[in-house]
Every structure is written in C-alpha cells, then in structure tokens.
Amino acid sequence: MPNLLERLRALDTCSVSDALDKLGLAGAVAGLGPLTVRRRVAGPVVTVKLGAPMPDLPRRHLGAGAIMAARAGDIIVVEHRGRTDVSGWGGLLSRGAIRKGVVAVIVDGACRDVEESLELDLPVYARAAVPVTARGRVAEHAFNTPITVRGLAVTPGDLVLADGSGVVFVPATAAEAVIAAAEDIFHREQLMAAAIDGGQAIGEVMGANYEDMLKTSESRP
C-alpha cells in the first residue's frame, strides 16, 4: 500500500479519472473543490456518515469517532448528502484531525471555519462553506462504514486523490490496475506536452492517437 500511495501522489486527478474510464470503473465525482489549502493529497479513506438527528444514535460529536480511528496519512470522507445549508465539518474537528496526522478532509456538502482550517494547513474539499452549525440539525449515523459520495459507493480503505481539478476515488480492489493505467496515460500526456512546447502543431499532437488513448485493447480497431 505505501508504494501505491506514493505512485498515486505522483499523478493528477485527470489522469486517474481517465484511467478509471479506460477500465470501465466509476470514481470521479463532480462538485467538490478545495476550500482551504490548494495542495494535491492522496491517502486511504476513513468514512463518516451523516444524517438527520435520531433519538437512538450515540451521543458523539459528528466526525469525532473517525478522527479517533484515523491513522497518520488517512483522509476523512464525510457523507453529508450534498447539503449546503448546514455544516458537516468545522474548525475544532480540523484541529483534532491535524493532531492525528490526517492529511485532508472531503465533505460531500458544506463545511465551516474555513479560515481556521486554512491556518492549520489542512486541505478541506467540500461543496461550499456555510456558518450554520450542525448542532440540532445533523447527527453522525456511523463512521468507518460504507458511504456514498454523489451516488458513488466509497468503502473504508479505498484510496482517494484530490487536487485543484476535483476528487477521484480508487477502489482498493482495483488500485494496482487503475494506478498503472493512469501512469501510462500521464506519461503519454507529458510527451504530448513536450511536443507542443517544442513547436509541433497541436492538431498533429492531439489527433487520433490522443482520442484512442482511453480505448481498451479489445475496443481498438
């Protein structure tokens, strides 16, 4: 796993998204972007599942269980069902996450205390920022259980990569194949970039070979 993570960190979300397409897998999600530190991050997923308050739920602040369960290098991913009217993550949680060595937080919804997380140098990816507290409005239903992010199934231990272009999840069961395909695509695009910088016409560089790059060997003529 450490070697896979190092290889994943060397890529970008666009190459990984292309690799997922090539392998017929889902993983890229729309609408999540960096609200604090703009830094590429990658790591294993620790999950949080949020929902409506219910009387039989454990009396635990949302996110606290995931932080306590996290290991250094993990990324916490919060299922907040796309809500932007109330926060699903805040500054005190960011402080706790930093102390555990969590490298980033991804919220499928809104977060708050953006300046505090920025000062802590913690990348937070979310749909929006909102000052409205979760208290009395949202509760944690579970942590370290399967969740969904924009309809995509995400399991604890999956890998996630996030940068300025967005967020992509890589199923742990397919990580080697996805990363290998992404490395091939990334390398070929670097060669194309060098050709363009060297003066070759973009129409020649981005021709049929570029369009065929995501085809599997079975689908190529």
User: What pLDDT was estimated at residue 216?
Assistant: 52
Question: How long is the chain?
Answer: 221
User: What pLDDT was estimated at residue 19?
Assistant: 97
Q: How far apart are CA 202 and CA 187, in angstroms?
A: 17
Please tell me the number of Cα atoms within 13 Å of 99 on its side-chain side.
Answer: 11
219, pLDDT greater than 90: no
Give whole-number Cα distances, 185 to 99, 162, 191, 192, 202, in Å: 36, 18, 10, 11, 18
For the entire predicted model, the pTM comes to: 0.91
Query: pLDDT digits over 113-161, tens only?
Result: 999 999 999 999 999 999 999 999 999 999 999 999 999 999 999 999 9
Residue 36 lies in a domain: yes
- Number of independent structural domains in the chain: 1
User: What pLDDT was estimated at residue 220?
Assistant: 42
- Three-state DSSP at 62 gives coil
Boundaries of domain holding 72:
26-170
Q: Pick the residue with more confidence: 192 or 76?
A: 76
217 pLDDT band, cuts 50/70/90, is: very low
Domain at 105, CATH number: 3.50.30.40
